[in-house]
């Protein structure tokens, strides 16, 4: 039951200090939101996170799923994935999944293959196929993040996800989905995301509150 905090490269040190002090377990480096894409500089940021005892998720989100267009995206994955504990690549980025998978697995790290739907939560059979396709592509962890338009959507995603074998991340976005960020742990979700400055997705909970609630409900 890990809590990750997405950070960009603006005021990175301040954000990292806040993560450490408030009890985060991981930092997600949202490289697609970085102002500077120098490989050596990003490597140094990953090392800074490791030095304070936190794990890293490398994410270079594609523009198709809420990120931005980056010309050297594949190169960044090849260079940075071997030193990050986890790397997140979208299921829709199948053109570069093999390259990313090779960089991650050859370094003994973990591959997150993710699916995002910012409008709705698909039907149960589609959710099941998303999990299975991500596994076929070599996911160590399958991340499914969908928009909850009702509490029934939250219940469906958590229940379907709970039935799927292997590690997974289950998130419902939006105000109604906020409960999933804590309840997901009870259904087998291994990572949830919080914020320290401002939320990067609707429904995120502040890190301090997430840590408090995790302790309250899960000990």
- The two counts, helices (H) then strands (E), for the chain are 8, 9
Segment 117-135 shows an average pLDDT of 97
Segment 168-188 shows an average pLDDT of 97
pLDDT-derived band at 202 (thresholds 50, 70, 90) equals confident
List, for residues 58-70, the tens digit of each pLDDT value. 999 998 888 888 9
pLDDT-derived band at 85 (thresholds 50, 70, 90) equals very high
- Domain 2-218 in this protein, CATH class: alpha beta
Output the CA–CA distances (angstroms, integers) from residue 187 to 100, 151, 167, 209, in the order listed: 28, 15, 11, 20
Query: Residue 206 in contact with residue 192, Cβ under 8 Å?
Result: no
Q: What are phi and psi of 145, to 5 degrees?
A: -125, 115
pLDDT-derived band at 107 (thresholds 50, 70, 90) equals very high
How far is Cα 172 from Cα 183, in angstroms, rounded to an integer?
10
Pairing between β-strand 55-59 and β-strand 86-90 as defined by DSSP bridges: parallel
Whole-number pLDDT of residue 89: 98
Active site residue ranges: 116, 143
Which residues fall in the annotated binding site?
Answer: 28-30, 61, 181, 204
Q: What are phi and psi of 160, to 5 degrees?
A: -65, -45
List, for residues 36-53, the tens digit of each pLDDT value. 999 999 999 999 999 999
pLDDT-derived band at 132 (thresholds 50, 70, 90) equals very high
Which residues fall in the annotated binding site for 3-dehydroquinate?
Answer: 28-30, 61, 181, 204
Pairing between β-strand 191-195 and β-strand 141-147 as defined by DSSP bridges: unpaired
């Amino acid at each position: 039951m890990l809590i990750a905090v997405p950070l960009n490269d603006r005021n990175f040190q301040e954000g990292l200090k806040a993560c450490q002090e408030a009890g985060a377990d991981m930092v997600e480096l949202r490289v697609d939101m970085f102002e500077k894409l120098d490989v050596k500089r990003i490597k140094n940021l990953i090392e800074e996170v490791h030095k304070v005892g936190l794990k890293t998720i490398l994410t270079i989100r594609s523009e198709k799923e809420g990120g931005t267009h980056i010309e050297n995206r594949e190169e960044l994955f090849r260079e940075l994935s071997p030193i990050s504990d986890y790397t997140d690549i979208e299921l829709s980025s199948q053109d570069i999944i093999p390259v990313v998978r090779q960089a991650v697995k050859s370094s003994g790290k973990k591959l997150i293959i993710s699916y995002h739907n910012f409008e709705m939560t698909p039907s149960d059979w589609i959710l099941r196929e998303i999990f299975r396709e991500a596994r076929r592509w070599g996911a160590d962890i399958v991340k499914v993040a969908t928009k909850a338009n009702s509490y029934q959507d939250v219940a469906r995603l958590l229940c379907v996800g709970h039935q799927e074998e292997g590690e997974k991340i289950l998130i419902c976005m939006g105000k109604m989905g906020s409960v999933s960020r804590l309840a997901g742990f009870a259904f087998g979700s291994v990572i949830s995301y919080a914020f320290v400055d401002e939320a990067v997705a609707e429904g995120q909970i502040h890190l301090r509150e997430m840590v408090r609630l995790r302790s309250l409900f899960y000990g």
